[in-house]
């Protein structure tokens, strides 16, 4: 994979959100505090600690509509809004967001830098082996961001396999990178980019022929940039589903969270949140974590 990544690290203000970088060992100012989280690898009850601290620290990607960091530092988006509502039902006052690259989210969770991931971190075998996902909140789709008119006709992963000249922008450690690797797309066809905006710019500048990202994320980017098209759903990509992800030792939290999530899903508020962000609340009906954790990669 060729990298367009700038290994930047930044601590964004001292507001509700800090930025965690992928560099190993780079610690945020709060990584030594455990306001609601249990220590990595312990079975301390994160639920009791979060109730006491009044806050649950959540890793987000800032990729609307899955997650969004408002200019005042408020964390929102479909997943954090559901997490906040269920946390309140569990007696936890609020959530506090930490923005991190997808590739850092599970290591940061295991290191105790945050208590939970609610970022649209899609379930697949390797991730399900490292964290405890709650039942799914979101089931969504993947697309390609392409130059206007899709001149190279990129509509499926198979099209990338069939044309070794094609370069596909992906987020390092992201679900789409995993799809390409599982399909055995050579890494020299993969272009790593920092975030959604960088992926779009890579396509517009001709450094990549397409940007592989969730359909709704590309559509959100296209709202502010008419310089690229979003393809139909990529038919040969696996079903993408996500829920909150806790440490494997936080069993009490996952059990209690799932109970409250199931009850919350029966309320109009749940559907209102999903609808506000453009998701189909019913898309997750009947879909289980067990099923989604069968995704290869
Ligand atoms: O689960 C992932 O890794 C992917 N999820 C989202 C919401 N965006 C891109 C990322 O690769």
Q: What is the pLDDT of residues 16-40, one digit of tens each?
A: 455 555 433 333 333 334 444 444 4
Ligand 1 centre distance from Cα of residue 224 (Å):
20
Q: Please choose, from the candidates 245, 194, 193, 277, the residue with its C-alpha nearest in 3D space to the C-alpha of residue 19.
A: 194
Query: What average pLDDT does the structure give for the chain?
Result: 90
Q: How confident is the model at residue 45 (pLDDT cuts 50, 70, 90)?
A: confident
Q: Determine the topology of domain 142-230 in CATH.
A: D-Maltodextrin-Binding Protein; domain 2 (3.40.190)
> What pLDDT, on the 0 to 100 scale, is given for residue 29?
33
- Residue pointed to by tokens 């609808």: 275
Domain ranges of the chain: 12-139+240-287, 142-230
Q: What is the pLDDT of residues 142-190, one digit of tens each?
A: 999 999 999 999 999 999 999 999 999 999 999 999 999 999 999 999 9
C-alpha–C-alpha distance, residues 279 and 31, integer Å = 33
> What pLDDT, on the 0 to 100 scale, is given for residue 2?
73
Contact 52, 130 (CB under 8 A): no
Which residue, by CA, sits nearest to atom 1 of ligand 1? 121
**Averaged pLDDT for residues 43-71:** 93
SS (H, E, C) the chain: CEECCCCCCCCCCCCCCEECCCCCCCCCCCCCCCCCCCCCCCCCCHHHHHHHHCEEEEEECCCCCCCEECCCCCEECHHHHHHHHHHHHCCCCEEEEEECCHHHHHHHHHCCCCCEECCCCCCCHHHHCCEEECCCCEEECEEEEECCCCCCCCCCHHHHHHCCCCCEEECCCCHHHHHHHHCCCCHHHEEECCCHHHHHHHHHCCCCCEEEEEHHHHHHHHCCCCCCEECCCCCCCCCEEECCEEECCCHHHHHHHHHHHHHHCCCHHHHHHHHHCCCCHHHHCCCCHHHHCCCCC
Strands 138-140, 68-69: pairing kind:
unpaired
Ligand 1 atom closest to the Cα of residue 67 is: 7
**Averaged pLDDT for residues 55-75:** 96
Q: Which of 120, 168, 177, 293 to mutate to test the pocket of ligand 1 (most atoms within 8 A of CB)?
A: 120
Structure tokens at 94: 């609020």
Tell me if 243 CB under 6 Å of ligand 1.
no
Q: What is the pLDDT of residues 211-237, one digit of tens each?
A: 999 999 999 999 999 999 999 999 999
Tell me if 196 CB under 6 Å of ligand 1.
no
Tell me if 253 CB under 6 Å of ligand 1.
no
Equal fold, 12-139+240-287 vs 142-230: yes
Which residue, by CA, sits nearest to atom 11 of ligand 1? 174
Give the angle 125-286-142 at the CA atoms, nearest 5°: 55
Is domain 12-139+240-287 annotated with CATH 3.40.190.10? yes
Tell me if 213 CB under 6 Å of ligand 1.
yes
Tell me if 134 CB under 6 Å of ligand 1.
no
Q: Please choose, from the candidates 129, 136, 128, 70, the residue with its C-alpha nearest in 3D space to the C-alpha of residue 99.
A: 70
Tell me if 120 CB under 6 Å of ligand 1.
yes
> What pLDDT, on the 0 to 100 scale, is given for residue 44?
62
Q: What is the pLDDT of residues 112-136, one digit of tens each?
A: 999 999 999 999 999 999 999 999 9
C-alpha distances out from residue 181 to 20, 160, 184, 280, Å: 25, 12, 5, 28
Instruction: Report percent pLDDT > 90 for the chain.
Output: 84
Ligand 1 atom closest to the Cα of residue 102 is: 3
Does 210 or 3 have the greater pLDDT score?
Answer: 210
Does 93 or 21 have the greater pLDDT score?
Answer: 93
Tell me if 133 CB under 6 Å of ligand 1.
no
Ligand 1 centre distance from Cα of residue 121 (Å):
5
């Amino acid at each position: 994979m060729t990298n367009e990544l700038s290994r930047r690290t930044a601590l964004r203000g001292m507001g509700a959100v800090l930025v965690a970088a992928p560099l190993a060992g780079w610690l945020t100012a709060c990584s030594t505090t455990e306001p609601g989280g249990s220590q990595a690898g312990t079975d301390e009850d994160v639920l009791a600690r979060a109730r006491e601290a009044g806050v649950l620290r959540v890793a987000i990607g800032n990729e609307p509509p899955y997650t969004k960091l408002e200019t005042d530092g408020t964390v929102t988006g479909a997943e954090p809004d559901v997490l906040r509502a269920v946390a309140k039902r569990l007696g936890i006052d609020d959530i506090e967001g930490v923005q991190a690259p997808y590739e850092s989210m599970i290591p940061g969770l295991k290191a105790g830098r945050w208590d939970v991931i609610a970022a649209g971190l899609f379930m697949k075998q390797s991730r399900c082996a490292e964290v405890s996902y709650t039942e799914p909140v979101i089931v969504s789709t993947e697309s390609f961001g392409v130059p206007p008119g899709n001149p190279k006709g990129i509509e499926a992963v198979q099209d990338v396999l069939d044309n070794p000249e094609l370069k596909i922008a992906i987020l390092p450690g992201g679900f789409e990178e995993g799809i390409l690797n599982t399909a055995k797309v050579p890494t020299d066809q993969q272009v790593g980019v920092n975030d959604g905006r960088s992926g779009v710019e890579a396509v517009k500048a001709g450094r990549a022929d397409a940007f592989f990202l969730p359909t709704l994320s590309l559509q959100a980017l296209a709202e502010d940039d008419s310089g690229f098209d979003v393809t139909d759903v990529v038919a040969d990509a696996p079903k993408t589903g996500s829920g909150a992800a806790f440490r494997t030792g936080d069993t009490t939290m996952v059990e209690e969270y799932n109970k409250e999530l199931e009850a919350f899903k029966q309320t109009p508020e749940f559907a209102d949140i999903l609808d506000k962000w453009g998701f189909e609340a019913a898309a997750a009906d009947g879909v289980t974590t067990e099923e989604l954790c069968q995704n290869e990669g």
